[in-house]
Structure 1
């Protein structure tokens, strides 16, 4: 009888946790073609997630960081987000320039441009606008680690102050 009571209790606990509603909203990832079209309609800052198929930390960021409910909502509201496979062999047109696959580096020239030649995966790149200077942030980032840079560009603080000044007074809410 006692075992049945313990089993029933465990079933109730399991069911209460499994019925928790999952975050249904996901980041609305765009291609570079979609980005340029959307940007012409309404300019916003741009975030590019540069990844490769073989990169374990890229997959971990997709599984964890890019599932954070607050981060997803913020990115979808304030940014155009682009997911970009650095090793794509397809020619990519971005900002009136065509980027080709570079066999020597085994990567697309757009990845080289966006990272300033410092290829590392994952790398999150921020652009204040379509003509903006790329601001690459290499490595796996947890939501709390990426919050300040996301909000720096998302709130257009980059137009008024340096990231160092912004970060000194920044208070994390994620």
Structure 2
């Protein structure tokens, strides 16, 4: 994303971490070490998915994954999002609104009432 409002909001409210979901790094999370044993260095293009990406329920790229302050998984957000589409997730999670959105109906009402403040 290139929108200055998104960058500013993320920098102020989150710790952004980049992870290669087809990479070879060893990731320790919740007392388990995740690897990518099927990685093939000779493969051109897409490679096997890292086991950590599987554990996070990543089903497509690009994806963003949100964790709470204790490192617990909140939710993955799969697919490319414009700054305005991303804004609702950034604010919903930062404001802890996600905790009360326990049904599709609640999400739909939240989404319909959301007012964007990020520039286009």
CA RMSD of aligned residues (A): 2.1
Q: Residue in 1 aligned with 2:65?
A: 125
Distance (whole Å) between structure 1 residues aligned to residue 82 and residue 117 of structure 2: 13
* Alignment TM-score, normalising by the size of structure 2: 0.76
Larger Rg, first or second structure (1 or 2)? 1
* Alignment TM-score, normalising by the size of structure 1: 0.54
Distance (whole Å) between structure 2 residues aligned to residue 128 and residue 168 of structure 1: 25
Q: Residue in 2 aligned with 1:170?
A: 114
The secondary structure found in structure 1 opposite 2:66 is strand
User: Which one has the bigger strand percentage?
Assistant: 1
Structure 1 stretches lacking a partner, 5+ long: 1-64
Verify the 8 A CA contact 2:36 2:49 in the aligned structure 1.
Answer: yes
User: Which one has the bigger helix percentage?
Assistant: 1
2:98 to 155, 158, 174: 158
Structure 2 stretches lacking a partner, 5+ long: 40-46
The secondary structure found in structure 1 opposite 2:53 is helix
Verify the 8 A CA contact 1:152 1:166 in the aligned structure 2.
Answer: no
Aligned residues: 107
